[in-house]
Amino acid sequence: MGNAFTPRIAAGTAVFAALVLLTGCGGGERSPAAPPVVQGERLVLRYVPAPDLKPVAATVTSRDAAEARARIAGTLVRLEVRAGDLVRRGQVIAVVSDPRIGLETRAYDAQVAAAQAQSISASAELARTQDLFEHGVYAKARLEQMTAAAHAAAGALGAARAQRAASAELGAQGAIVAPADGRVLKADVPAGSVVQPGQSIATLTAGPIVLRVETPEADAAGLKVGQTVDIAPGQPGVPAGQAKIVQVYPAVDAGKVIADLDAPGLSNDLIGRRVALRLALGQRQALLVPVRFVITRSGVDYVRVLEPDGTADETPVQVAPGPSAMQVEVLSGAAAGDVLVAPGAGR
């Protein structure tokens, strides 16, 4: 009998286990747990007024450019400076020589010596005549004649000396001096060259160092004296910050308006260097976001957009520099009304 019931007991056990399993499976599905709501700083994207910044290029230059020119014709016998040198006002930077001037000066020296001898002789003759006149030997007319001759000789001596001084001064004008303090921009006339009066020997900076910008005449209304202009960051050797417009030139040259800007920390080491600026030409509506809401990964910018279910998804966006270093402008990838969540908040 024991053998007959053994298969039934085993079968019953299997059926009971199956019923238990089915009972456990059919107890109803559990609803998934709701995702946690993201916590952290939020920002609703809205269009706000922003300055319409236009990228422009400015040139590092001096307010004026001074030309060191030759004053006489001759041969450039010595050039003391080269491009990049610092010079002081009145410093001799080159010498022009004309041998004829030296010969003329020596000729005038001889004329001065002759006139001086004549003047000495006339003065001595006047003294003798004066003595004899006082003793009644010569008439007064003779004394007057000798007096006039002595005065004429003295005048001839003075004229000879003046001519000699003029010739010497002309020779001294062969020294070319720096017209102002500054840095030599160009000195490309080699020694030994024949130069003419008025020929430029060297070009120097003069006045303060400024940023000179040229904009189309259509943008002239956006240039005001005292207006601040942003200097684009990340330019080696260029101080970051703002420049101020100090002069707007009242003329249009080839369809462009020129303005000078003062920027602290500018150096005259690289005259002619190009500097990127951002010029404000009015206002427009823009989506501005603090930089702390932007994530940059592998060269791609992302923002975390809050979804209706309370989660935050990273969305790639295209951004541009904003009106300040702490803001960027969202160009695409997010729209007005989106709620952004600052990075670091929980998901």
Q: 231, 249, 333, 241: which is closest to 287 by C-alpha?
A: 333
pLDDT at 317: 93
Tally Cβ neighbours within 10 Å of residue 93. 22
pLDDT at 76: 93
Confidence band (pLDDT; 50, 70, 90) for 5? Answer: very low
Identify the residue whose tokens are 């189309």: 216
pLDDT at 19: 39
57 lies in some domain:
yes
Q: Of 241, 265, 282, which residue sits at a domain end?
A: 282
Do the beta carbons of residue 176 and residue 71 sit within 8 Å?
Answer: yes
7 lies in some domain:
no
Give the domain CATH number at 129.
Answer: 1.10.287
pLDDT at 6: 44
197 lies in some domain:
no
192 torsion bin: left (phi>0), alpha (psi -120 to 50), beta (else): left
211 lies in the same domain as 266? yes
Token pair, residue 156, equals 């001839």
16 lies in some domain:
no
pLDDT at 40: 75
185 lies in some domain:
no
Look at 86-90, 234-238, 248-252 and tell me which has the smallest mean pLDDT. Answer: 234-238
271 lies in the same domain as 293? no
| Beta carbons within 8 Å of 314's beta carbon, 6+ residues apart | 295, 302, 303, 304, 305
Tally Cβ neighbours within 10 Å of residue 30. 6
204-215 average pLDDT score: 86
Quote the number of domains for the chain.
3
The one-letter code for the residue type at 318 is Q
253 lies in some domain:
yes
Confidence band (pLDDT; 50, 70, 90) for 100? Answer: confident
306-334 average pLDDT score: 87
What residues form DSSP beta bridges with 66?
A: 204
Give the domain CATH number at 275.
Answer: 2.40.30.170
124-129 average pLDDT score: 88
Q: What is the pLDDT of residues 14-27, one digit of tens each?
A: 444 443 444 444 44
The dihedral over CA atoms of 228, 229, 232, 233, expressed in degrees to the nearest 10, equals 0
Q: What is the pLDDT of residues 136-194, one digit of tens each?
A: 887 888 888 888 988 998 999 899 899 888 888 888 888 999 988 888 888 989 998 99
Token pair, residue 298, equals 């592998």
Do the beta carbons of residue 289 and residue 47 sit within 8 Å?
Answer: no
196 lies in some domain:
no
235-253 average pLDDT score: 82
Q: Of 149, 172, 195, which residue sits at a domain end?
A: 172
Rounded to whole angstroms, the Cα distance separating 131 from 124 reads: 11
pLDDT at 36: 61
Rounded to whole angstroms, the Cα distance separating 312 from 300 reads: 18
240 lies in the same domain as 259? yes
Query: Comparing 70 with 28, which gets the higher pLDDT?
Result: 70
Q: What is the pLDDT of residues 45-69, one digit of tens each?
A: 999 988 887 888 888 888 888 899 9
260 lies in the same domain as 295? no
346 lies in some domain:
no
Look at 52-56, 92-96, 252-256, 273-277 and tell me which has the smallest mean pLDDT. Answer: 52-56
Which percentage of the chain shows pLDDT scores above 70?
87
Strand 274-290 vs strand 295-297: parallel, antiparallel, or unpaired?
Answer: unpaired
Query: Comparing 85 with 16, which gets the higher pLDDT?
Result: 85
Q: Of 172, 188, 216, which residue sits at a domain end?
A: 172
239 lies in the same domain as 226? yes
The 3-state secondary structure of the chain reads CHHHHHHHHHHHHHHHHHHHHHHHHCCCCCCCCCCCCCCCCEEECCEEEEEEEEEEEEEEEEEEEEEEECCCCEEEEEECCCCCCEECCCCEEEEEECHHHHHHHHHHHHHHHHHHHHHHHHHHHHHHHHHHHHCCCCCHHHHHHHHHHHHHHHHHHHHHHHHHHHHHHHHHCCEEECCCCEEEEECCCCCCCEECCCCEEEEEEEEEEEEEEEEEHHHHHHCCCCCEEEECCCCCCCCCEEEEEEEEEEEEECCEEEEEEECCCCCHHHCCCEEEEEEEEEEEEEEEEEHHHCEEECCEEEEEEECCCCCEEEEEEEEEECCCCCEEEEEECCCCCCEEECCCCCC
105 lies in the same domain as 151? yes
Which percentage of the chain shows pLDDT scores above 90?
18
Confidence band (pLDDT; 50, 70, 90) for 130? Answer: confident
pLDDT at 318: 93
Give, in order, the Cα–Cα distances in Å from 271 to each of 44, 74, 213, 274: 46, 31, 14, 9
Average pLDDT along the chain: 82
Give the domain CATH number at 297.
Answer: 2.40.420.20
Residue 316 has pLDDT above 90, yes or no: yes
Rounded to whole angstroms, the Cα distance separating 38 from 312 reads: 7
Note down the domain range covering 331. Answer: 42-50+287-341
pLDDT at 195: 92
Q: At what angle do helices 140-172 and 99-134 cross, to 10 degrees?
A: 160
